[in-house]
Structure formats: structure tokens, C-alpha cells
Structure 1
Amino acid sequence: MPTLIIQTNVETPADHRKKILEDASSITAKILGKPESYVMVILKDKMDMLFAGDAAPLAYLELKSLGLPEERTSGLSADLCYFMEARFGVPPERVYIEFTSPPRHLFGWNGGTF
């Protein structure tokens, strides 16, 4: 159930959206060591956002996963910040990331929970 939500004020060209989503799905599976068949990626671009009173490129990410390894969040942050800079041109100092590891009974899928 790994889910990556990307919210950014950067506009993604229509012809690049599919590739960016595929890359985000792949990197999420890789860095978490989970099957990509369970990964969901949500991209919300061209949003009205400010960081430090400035509308320069920025992003807010949410990474949710059952059993998210808290001791690895620093490394996960580095990987996701690198991705955001490489794909969107958002510098790491303009990225916030919220890591969440919900209890299995509070995450639904396929008519039930995990």
C-alpha cells in the first residue's frame, strides 16, 4: 500500500506526466523494498503554493506505507528530494516530506483492510 502524493507548484507538461508517474512509482517501490504492484502515486501539479513567502518551485510530499522504517526516513528523504530536483527542478531545501506508517487496520483495500 505504499502511496506517494506529490504536490507542487511546478507545471508538468502533458507529454511528461506518464513518465514522471512511472518513475515515481518505480522509485517508491525501490526505496521501500515493496512490490510496485501495490504502489500508488498521485501527482497534483500547478498548485497555488508558497514556501517562506516565495512562490519559487517547491513541493510537499506525503509517503505512506505500512511498516515504514522510521530509522530510514533520512535516507528516504534524500532519495525523494533527489527525485524532485531531477524531475521537477525543485531544490531539496524547498521540499517538505511527511512520512506516515498507518496501522494495518486503518488502511483499506479491496473491500477490507491490511
Structure 2
Amino acid sequence: MPFINTNTNVEISDEKREKLKSKLGQAIRILGKSEDWLMLSFEDKCDMYFKGDSSSPMAFVDVSVFGHSDDSACEKMTVELCSIYNDVLGISPDKLYVKYSGSTQWGWNNMNF
């Protein structure tokens, strides 16, 4: 039950949204998760500043999973996310933050796992 939320100051066209959806669906396997349960959210054209500057494309990517992901998998995932966002949105890896969180308290369909 992974969820990836993307906040960026870049405008995401429908075509780019589809590319991100597809690439993130593949990338989530790195964390041992499946696209079958993957939920995505894209918030584009956000007012964002990094180091006091808003002139460059940037993003904050929040990756939440049911359970726990080990450090090695998260390292690999960060490399992959940097590549995806650079390729699709032109965001340099040094303008991208990735946050990972895991929890065993997830609810779905009137129940908790």
C-alpha cells in the first residue's frame, strides 16, 4: 500500500503525468511494493523555494509505505526517483527532496491492515 505524493513548482502536462505514473509504477518495485496498490498524487505549480530561490524547477517527493523499507532499498529508490524527475520534468537531482515513511497502521475498505 504505497503512496507517493509529489509537490513541484513545475507544471505537469497530461502527457508528463502519464509518464510519471508509469515510471513510478515500475520504480515502486525497488521497495518491494506493487503498482497494484500504488496511489499517486501530483500537486504542480506550487509556490516553492529552495535555499531562498524559486527560479529553478524543484520537487518534494513523499513516499509512504505500509511496513518498513530498508535503507539500501531507499537509497536505490532515491537514485531512481532523481532520474525519473530529471527525465520527465527537468528537475535536477540537487533540487529534489525525497522523504520516506512507513507505518503498520493503514486503513482501507472499512478495515485496517
Alignment TM class, shorter chain as reference: 0.7 to 0.9
TM-score between the two structures when normalised by the length of structure 1: 0.87
Tell me if the contact between 1:25 and 1:41 (Cα under 8 Å) persists in the aligned partners: no
Query: Map of 1:82-93 to 2, 5 A cutoff?
Result: 82-93=83-94
Partner SS state of residue 49, structure 2? coil
- Whether 2:42 is the aligned partner of 1:43: answer yes
Please report the RMSD computed on the Cα atoms of aligned residues, expressed in angstroms.
1.5
Tell me if the contact between 1:9 and 1:46 (Cα under 8 Å) persists in the aligned partners: yes
1:75 corresponding residue in structure 2: 76
Tell me if the contact between 1:4 and 1:63 (Cα under 8 Å) persists in the aligned partners: yes
Aligned residues: 111
Q: Note the residue ranges of structure 2 that are not aligned, 5 or more in a row.
A: none
Q: Note the residue ranges of structure 1 that are not aligned, 5 or more in a row.
A: none
Query: Percent of counterpart pairs with the same letter?
Result: 29
- Whether 2:24 is the aligned partner of 1:24: answer yes
TM-score between the two structures when normalised by the length of structure 2: 0.88
1:54 corresponding residue in structure 2: 53
Structure 1 residues 16, 96: closer, same or farther in 2, change over 3 A?
closer
1:64 corresponding residue in structure 2: 64
